[in-house]
A = this chain, B = another copy of it.
Amino acid sequence: MKKNHVVLLLHCPDQKGIVLEVSKFLVAHQCNILELDQYTDLENNHFFMRVKFDKGDVELSEKLLESSFEETVAEKCTMKWRMYFCGKPWRVALFVTKLSHCIYDILQRYRSNEWDIEIPLIISNHDKLAYIAEQFDIPYHVFPITKENKLEQEAKELALLKENDIDFVVLARYMQVLTDDFIGHYPNKIINIHHSSLPAFPGSKPYHSAYRRGVKIIGATSHFVTADLDAGPIIAQDITKISHTDSVQDLIRKGRDLEKTVLSEAIWLKLEHKILSFKNKTIVFR
């Protein structure tokens, strides 16, 4: 995001005049709309909007803009909303286990400034990928997880996340199930990559299941993590075609390319403030 650019994400029960109220507010504050996307969920009678605007060079404090919006627009329409200002980049924590394809894909984008983020730490239940953290000079914290110590270890992880002021968490093929309590600390702020086209083949060995069933496509799904395993709101999905000649190992190999692309797409959408969640589904403005 460029200096002076602001993204406003909002949703509320549908009613006449929402666009008018928002645009009146923007003109009153001498803001210029750059992008406006709107969606009405007719089934639930609910209104969603994303506006990207340029607030110009006028001295206009972020706090003031926010409180003014709350008073003149949001209250009236019982909106849930948030403004994202250009400025300090989001702080992202990566969780990994043993597979390196997603983490390298993310770190390449990070290091080449494709994404304007900070990655202050990497957390793992295994030391296998410590060398990557070292290559990129990022602190790497290992918390081996057992049934017995999970809550305890998660408490330490949460402390680290708070301490590092983490905005959202990416599970880059992290092979542990998080507890509901952990997830509750980061609602719609934990993005996972699942290695199948959910709802097909949830669980831990989707490529083996796909092979057994003899499907002709394999997929990957990025989604927000909720208490319900592999059932959170889906952000992005893609597939690749396979054939009888592909062994399980081939599926795993081909799947990796999907996984990294589909995970990075979700992260990008999150960074661009293009995702809203509602009733276990996502609205993804393009």
Residues of A participating in the B interface, judged by any CB pair closer than 8 Å:
16-20, 23-24, 26-27, 30, 32-42, 99-101, 104-105, 107-109, 111-112, 114, 135-136, 197-201, 213-217, 219, 233-239, 241, 243-245, 247, 253, 256-257, 261, 264, 280-284, 286
Q: How far is the CA of A35 from the CA of B37 in the complex (A)?
A: 9
* Residues of B contacting A264 in the complex (Cβ-Cβ under 8 angstroms): 257
* Docked-complex contact A216 and B234, CB < 8 angstroms: yes
Q: How far is the CA of A147 from the CA of B165 in the complex (A)?
A: 51
Q: How far is the CA of A109 from the CA of B252 in the complex (A)?
A: 13
Show 28 residue pairs from A and B whose CB-CB distance is below 8 angstroms, ordered by the A residue.
A16-B27, A19-B23, A19-B33, A19-B36, A20-B20, A20-B26, A20-B27, A34-B42, A41-B244, A104-B105, A105-B105, A105-B108, A197-B200, A197-B215, A197-B239, A198-B200, A198-B215, A199-B201, A199-B213, A214-B234, A214-B280, A215-B237, A216-B237, A217-B239, A239-B239, A243-B286, A244-B282, A244-B283
Q: How far is the CA of A107 from the CA of B237 in the complex (A)?
A: 26
- Once A33-B19, A36-B38, A286-B245 are accepted as A-B contacts, the answer to whether A214 and B233 lie under 8 Å apart by CB is yes
Q: Which of B39, B99, B201, B280 contacts A245 (CB 8 A)?
A: B39
* Docked-complex contact A197 and B217, CB < 8 angstroms: yes
Chain multiplicity (copies): 4
- Smallest Cβ-Cβ distance to A14: which chain B residue: B32
- Smallest Cβ-Cβ distance to A198: which chain B residue: B215
* Residues of B contacting A245 in the complex (Cβ-Cβ under 8 angstroms): 35, 39, 286
* Residues of B contacting A214 in the complex (Cβ-Cβ under 8 angstroms): 233-234, 280-282
Q: How far is the CA of A282 from the CA of B215 in the complex (A)?
A: 9
* Docked-complex contact A39 and B108, CB < 8 angstroms: no
10 closest A-B pairs by CB: A214-B281, A20-B23, A200-B200, A104-B108, A135-B135, A36-B38, A19-B23, A216-B237, A244-B283, A217-B237
Chain B: minimal CB distance from A277 (Å): 10
- Smallest Cβ-Cβ distance to A258: which chain B residue: B261
- Once A245-B286, A286-B286 are accepted as A-B contacts, the answer to whether A40 and B30 lie under 8 Å apart by CB is no
Q: How far is the CA of A216 from the CA of B266 in the complex (A)?
A: 12
* Residues of B contacting A42 in the complex (Cβ-Cβ under 8 angstroms): 34, 247
